[in-house]
Amino acid sequence: MAGERDGGRRAAWDAPGHSQGAPGFAPTRDGRRLALQRRPAGGDGAGPTVVFEGGLAAGRSWWAAVQRELGDAAPTVVYDRAGLGRSAPAPGSRRLDALARDLTDLLGHLEPLGAGPFVLVGHSWGGPVVRLAAAERPDRIAGLVLVDPADESCPLLLSPGMRRQERAGQHLSMLLARAGLLGFVHRSLTSALPPDAAADLRAEGFTVAAMRTRARELEDTQGDLRRLLDAPPALDGVPLTVVSAGRTSPGMTRSVREAATASHAHRARQSPGGRHVVLPGADHMVPASAPGALAAEIRALL
């Protein structure tokens, strides 16, 4: 399985009592399997199940600190998109529609197991993924939390300069992965995670294979966003919270940060009762930089 070892470190995903829950797999409509971890709630376990969707090339382990902060408030599910972590690569497109179909298949697998309704939490590129999946079956969605999401209403995301930045970032990430240094660059994020999830991320998240998947997900992000502009997902009646980071970070200069935050406020206004929240202590990697504050916003929708 891709990413089982990296620098002599073994992934811990199937260890008893893993902080992110018990491992398993969900089938897709085309015969693949998506690796997941499912953590039960305390008490009677009643209420929605929280399902997390990561950003570009971000697998299940990135959410471990948020799961820890949620405690036993709700059952949680994390998973690896195709080509990440324990999920095998998929043939064909890895554009937005394909990612949303896989998430829809995951939810369809979970429903007969007693999960649902669902609160979907999507970070960065995971934001449009969860919006599309929710629009497919809004009857089973109890709420959406979009975490510093990519949003089609942000003009900068549709600019030629942003496309050049994406390509440069992908090239650098691949070079670092080939040199075995990508995990070192992201060590501050890894250190925010529980030890077992950090071991999984070090073993699986910074590989050449993961960066190849990232390149496929970046195939035409601007085309995908323009399609959302032309046909936005219908989410009437689905409770929505949009969370913005309050701090700049690499790739997020002050002007980019302001434009992104403005697009988040716009997205919240499109939903009756939608909420827009800015977390002052968070940078773009909100799940690692402000897991407690993010968990509080998720709790508010449960």
pLDDT digits (tens, 9 = 90+) for 14-48: 888 999 999 999 999 999 999 999 999 876 656 89
pLDDT score recorded for residue 162: 87
**Contact (CB, 8 A) for 202 and 262:** no
Cis bond before residue 194 (omega within 30° of 0): no
pLDDT for position 8? 35
* pLDDT tens by residue, 188-217: 889 889 999 999 999 999 999 999 999 999
- Please give the model's pTM, rounded to 2 decimal places: 0.94
CA pair distance 298, 225, nearest whole angstrom: 25
Burial 282-301 (b: 16+ CB within 10 A, else e): bbbbbbbbbbebbbebbeeb
